[in-house]
Chains A and B, each alone.
Chain A
């Protein structure tokens, strides 16, 4: 329980409690820098993440979107230090409030997890313990990270249930997951994640499989709570509509690369990466008819391949040119807006000028 304190003192910079006032308005909380993650499997090495950089400031909500298999969950698991044993971080750094997470081992990481950074998992029915009352599951987190005594823990657990707007929290404290609806289970998961008032919340598809009415309630709850507490939120989703409604910024992932990151409205109004543009065109939000929707050609490349091109979208891309084989990185194209593409959209006029001059 006290593991955090000597460790924090050693690091010298971390605020001990999540309730501490933020120092600067836009202090960076999570910094992912050129992270690479590999999985060693019998059929080859899967290069699941490569050169991934992303930063989250306090109070900010960032969406991480992309097809399944693009590495969204790998990134969030790596940030939480809960990646699969087969995963290896081969390059880059992960920093949380200035501390190097990759230097943290075992106990130090456990002290952060659940207290400073918390995660909402995709499927609440799987993530909750089926044979433990939900109130007790909240208490487990409190027992690990606080020195509250039993009665106070119980009071706080009931308070947590009330905070996520669960009606009749005292009765629901003793309920088992199977006695609650999907939406209620998801609220319990959020209550567990928020019990210690974390500064960073990673929500991995928090509303997949829930009804739209429940989805709206859960998402409003997360955004209210993050506004109240200046909590940074990383929202992982494949629903662009959802990301558009709730995120300040959106990062688009494709096959283990971040291909574009920018403010939500800029990204939707003028996507620069062809993949972002295709993804928006495939999303049925507000589309007039079925014929207006355009599918994305091809599949994600097999990440075990040793001959992966520098742009992993190149083989699916209609704009592919000779320059696309050159090494690639995110390049700033506007305020907070970067794209990893040699032939980004919206540069036709520039290209035409080029031709005119030549």
Chain B
């Protein structure tokens, strides 16, 4: 299968001034991953780890420092973010934003919001565009009577549907979802997740699902990428990673989940020690970035930065002392 999206050694550094000298904040620092057509990949990590920067790089709304964003074998990274706005491939990668209230224009009705995407992404006008808007409303289960309402007249779940309709109206191949249900109640969250899962199959899309709610990631994603301070520290099939997390940070994430996950191997002894993460400004490349919070950290961790290595069964981990993982055949 040809890859839909391939990210090669992607970097984005931001210059910051500190104590009178310019230094580099390594927001995304050498990331490699890929997405197959039809796949749902979850991206998890704490706030400030670079998830949003990564998303902005691959939706091409932010210029990259180094590396490649290959989409259907075209290096989209070569296109400047400003030019991407008018690029024909823009409609293939679309995004659903976190807060449905903040991401909708309060002066546009739901119809106008969706119609704007139809006009700009599909180049459609008039009756054809109007029909397309209603078709998108049908996809997301938004009654046509609600199309002429403004965001403040819609409930949270309805606004989420408008945000999704706007993103999928151009039939994107890749939909990037940035915590699409974080602002929703648990009762509505279920409906939206099930809607997304159905749309993915019906419209033949791939998802990159960014979230810090691991329970949701576990339900929706085929594979999961765990990010920590600009780097991917673990990746693999969701079930396997949740059942037997190898990286200490992944173990801590899963052990932190309230309510407890069934059959997981992570326990309270995996919780992170210490307080804040290291600074992302000019990090020492020869030092593990989790050191100081890691319950396992040893001397070699301060001398050599771990690389992402293959541990079999499509799983990768960047740690000198990963937990021993017993692969269970499915």
Contacts and interface: CB of A to CB of B under 8 A. Distances in A.
The answer to whether A and B belong to the same complex is yes
Interface of A: 67-68, 165-167, 181-184, 211-217, 219, 238-242, 244-246, 278-279, 282-287, 289-291, 293-296, 299
Contact of A213 (B197, B256, B261): B256
A355 B300 CA distance: 73
B190 interface: yes
Interface string B174-217: 00000000000111111101100100000000000000111110
Nearest to A289: B219
Contact of B258 (A242, A279, A282, A299): A242
Nearest to A219: B258
Q: Which of A240, A295, A299 has the most CB of B within 10 A?
A: A295
Interface of B: 46-48, 155-156, 185-191, 193-194, 197, 212-216, 218-220, 252-253, 255-262, 271-272, 274-276
A243 B275 CA distance: 24
A241 B276 contact: no
A278 B214 CA distance: 21
A240 B188 contact: no
A246 B257 CA distance: 12
Given A181-B276, A182-B47, A285-B215, A239 B258 contact: yes
Given A216-B258, A241-B257, A284 B46 contact: no
A290 B194 contact: yes
A240 B275 CA distance: 26
21 contacts: A167-B274, A211-B46, A213-B46, A213-B271, A216-B271, A239-B186, A241-B215, A244-B258, A244-B259, A282-B187, A282-B189, A282-B190, A284-B189, A284-B215, A284-B216, A285-B260, A286-B259, A293-B193, A293-B219, A295-B187, A296-B190
Given A67-B187, A246-B258, A293-B190, A212 B275 contact: no
Nearest to B216: A284
Contacts of A285: 215, 257-261
Q: Which of A68, A183, A294 has the most CB of B within 10 A?
A: A68
Nearest to A298: B187
Contacts of B274: 167
B259 A166 contact: no
A172 to B, nearest CB: 10
A74 to B, nearest CB: 16
B197 A290 contact: yes
B259 A245 contact: yes
Given A212-B253, A217-B272, A284-B186, 9 more contacts: A212-B257, A219-B258, A244-B259, A245-B260, A282-B189, A282-B190, A285-B215, A290-B194, A291-B194
B193 A241 contact: no
B185 A67 contact: yes
Contact of A212 (B48, B197, B212): B212
Contacts of A165: 275
Contacts of A68: 156, 185
Contacts of B260: 245, 285-286
Given A216-B258, A282-B189, A296-B187, A290 B212 contact: no
B219 A287 contact: yes
A215 B258 contact: yes
Q: Which of A165, A167, A244, A286 has the most CB of B within 10 A?
A: A286
A279 B189 CA distance: 11
Nearest to A220: B271
B94 to A, nearest CB: 22
Given A213-B253, A299-B155, A294 B259 contact: no
Given A216-B256, A219-B258, A295-B194, A184 B276 contact: yes
B271 to A, nearest CB: 6
Contacts of B215: 241, 284-285, 287
B197 A241 contact: no
Contact of B186 (A212, A219, A240, A246): A240
A294 B258 contact: no
Contacts of A290: 193-194, 197, 219-220
A299 B47 CA distance: 31
B48 to A, nearest CB: 7
Q: Which 4 A-B pairs have the closest CB atoms?
A: A241-B259, A216-B256, A296-B187, A211-B46
A211 B259 contact: no
Nearest to B276: A181
Contacts of A283: 186, 259
B14 to A, nearest CB: 17
Given A211-B46, A290-B220, A295 B190 contact: yes
A219 B197 CA distance: 32
B275 A167 contact: yes
A238 B257 CA distance: 15
A286 B215 CA distance: 8
Nearest to A283: B186
Contacts of B255: 216
B259 to A, nearest CB: 3
Contacts of A240: 186, 259
Contacts of A278: 187
Contact of A181 (B48, B156, B272): B48
Contacts of A184: 275-276
Contacts of A211: 46-47, 212
Contacts of A242: 258-259
B47 to A, nearest CB: 6
B187 A279 contact: yes
